Chains A and B, each alone.
Chain A
């Protein structure tokens, strides 16, 4: 067991990073940034406005052309060097991310930061391997297709995985040759600046610009600017629609990741033996507590087949009760703090409506007071509700460590319940029968169906939503094309006229 000390590598204040240097906010205002671990402020951050966004767009436009013409080998090398720096500083990045977001350090050490490192390497490789195409239309005519960068793109980052989600957006955009203006979430504005302190010297000035601030003051000017060629956003549906509305004014693309209410389906044969697979399935159930449930694909609806319902659920309750809640910087801690006070309050409001609707609390159900310094932090007990799929706790993304459990009769019933949701981002299927796994996986309307696993996020596996969960696929080379134009050169090699005129 290791208990890390609170990180001391923060600056007391972070300005905007524009054109390769730190620039004070136009209006000179800052906001305090608390750690959810204790609720205490640990730095202050520039409160950006439209003027700062314009300055960042100036810098990005100044850099975009040269970056877009930089050979792919050189762009890839820079991404690989970013990955190397992150690898060398993995531990300090992980500690910073935990202090910023509240999540347990064993997750940032083993998942967030290693995944981010690999993501830069993946897109460094993907851009080297990407080729245009040509079509030989006839003996004299060839259609060439080139990939060209969009130019300057805007990216709005969520607070649940501040560094990893920034990486999901930055790596493909930079690989494809775009300059970026990025706005971190106001709940988690600082860890990206620690990351930047490690890699800023690797990037040409103006290629990556970071403007901090609140959504309404800094996010909106970025999302609605006619000077961005594309906006990428991860968040919720109303803001997603608003960003599409702004995009419609300028006729430009967006990619959106807007969440889900992911079903995690456990067929009877999971319990056929008390073996490693059964143990793995119980871990799969308990994945609702990963990252305190603050994951767009949180497996927050568990559907358990009737034949083993009681036994499997009892074992799942035991596994959930074994989740260790504690100081996020302790490597033994399995669940840390929710990211902000308003997030805590929202989760508590759902625990309330769940009880009102008649759902039964099988374990948890309350805020957790961990004592000492942590009393000021935002902690919630891992909670299992038992109820039915029409309850609001089965239909809305609580974004907390809360799973709602119900039973199903057979495959078609499981699929019906699984698809009875507005969203379609992730799903889990657990069975020893590969035919059942295949049928269920193909029938579920979700962009990712984890089959006998859950919450794996490797680069090279496309991630994105059906239905109201959004538009686009991250984590895969296909994301490159979301950051590229297609240029077609249609070339005639014939000297002869057509004969029309």
Chain B
């Protein structure tokens, strides 16, 4: 599940009031085929989706998947990507807080999925799986 998938992130977009996302020549977020399959399944059950990358304790560092609009983003957030996933009618926005992105921006993120129990209010937990971020240094 480690290889980046054919599905990729769209152009990084900066939000007024937050730091602009540097254009690196490579998508900042991609998804593995297994993650794409799970996104399709969750889209079928819950409608349009979004991600917000968490930080901190316990299940921090996990990407949280919600129905689109469930988590209210604001000026303190950066939209890293609008993920285009085959079989999902609309792009899936991927967000992170601007302060956290400042510390992560030298890396490229891949959304993967592993067996697990999950936590937080992320939609996939009852399926017995958990979205997981794998990170790679972004080539200069």
Contact = CB atoms under 8 A, between A and B. Distances in A.
Contacts of A47: 126
Nearest to B130: A342
A237 B72 contact: no
Interface string B7-45: 000000000000000000000000000000000000000
B136 to A, nearest CB: 7
Interface in B52-79: 52-62, 64, 66, 70-72
B52 to A, nearest CB: 5
Contacts of B70: 242
Interface centre among B60, B61, B122, B133 (most CB of A within 10 A): B60
A149 interface: no
A245 B58 contact: no
Interface string A215-258: 11101100100000000001111111110010000000000011
A325 B116 CA distance: 23
A237 B60 contact: yes
Interface stretch (A129-137, A203-211, A283-291, A352-360): A352-360
A238 B54 contact: yes
B27 to A, nearest CB: 18
Interface string B122-140: 1101100010111111000
A400 to B, nearest CB: 11
B6 interface: no
Contacts of A390: 103
A356 B118 contact: no
B55 A396 contact: yes
A343 B132 CA distance: 10
Nearest to A353: B135
A399 interface: yes
A340 interface: yes
Interface string A454-468: 000000000000001
Contact of B132 (A259, A345, A353, A357): A345
A342 B71 contact: no
Contact of A422 (B53, B59, B103, B126): B103
A234 B133 contact: no
Interface residues of B, number: 41
A259 B100 CA distance: 14
A214 B127 CA distance: 10
Given A187-B119, A242-B71, A397 B57 contact: yes
A223 B125 CA distance: 17
B56 A259 contact: yes
B118 A346 contact: no
A236 B58 contact: yes
A392 interface: yes
A224 B15 CA distance: 28
Contact of B57 (A242, A259, A342): A259
A423 B134 CA distance: 22
A234 B122 CA distance: 16
Interface string A332-346: 000000001111011
Contacts of A220: 121
A469 B66 CA distance: 23
B95 to A, nearest CB: 9
A235 B118 contact: no
Interface band, chain A: 35 or more
B56 A240 contact: yes
Given A214-B118, A468-B55, A468-B56, A422 B99 contact: yes
Given A235-B58, A236-B59, A238-B54, A159 B137 contact: no
A349 B132 contact: yes
B54 A237 contact: yes
B59 to A, nearest CB: 5
Given A159-B58, A422-B99, A349 B115 contact: no
B35 to A, nearest CB: 13
Contacts of A399: 57-58, 60-61
B57 A238 contact: no
Nearest to A354: B135
Contacts of B62: 236, 342, 346
A270 interface: no
A326 interface: no
Interface string A99-118: 00000000000000000000
Interface centre among A159, A187, A214, A257 (most CB of B within 10 A): A214
A158 interface: yes
Contacts of B64: 238-239, 242
A160 interface: yes
B56 to A, nearest CB: 3
Given A186-B117, A245-B72, A342-B116, A396 B60 contact: yes
A395 interface: yes
B52 A238 contact: yes
A66 to B, nearest CB: 32
A235 B57 contact: yes
Contacts of A214: 118, 125-126
A166 interface: no
B116 A340 contact: yes
Contacts of B56: 235-237, 240, 258-260, 296, 397, 423, 468-469
B116 A245 contact: no
A185 interface: yes
Lowest 9 A-B CB distances belong to which pairs? A259-B57, A342-B116, A259-B56, A238-B54, A236-B60, A342-B130, A239-B120, A236-B56, A237-B56
Given A346-B62, A397-B61, 13 more contacts: A158-B58, A215-B120, A216-B121, A219-B121, A236-B58, A341-B115, A342-B62, A345-B114, A345-B132, A349-B135, A352-B134, A353-B107, A399-B58
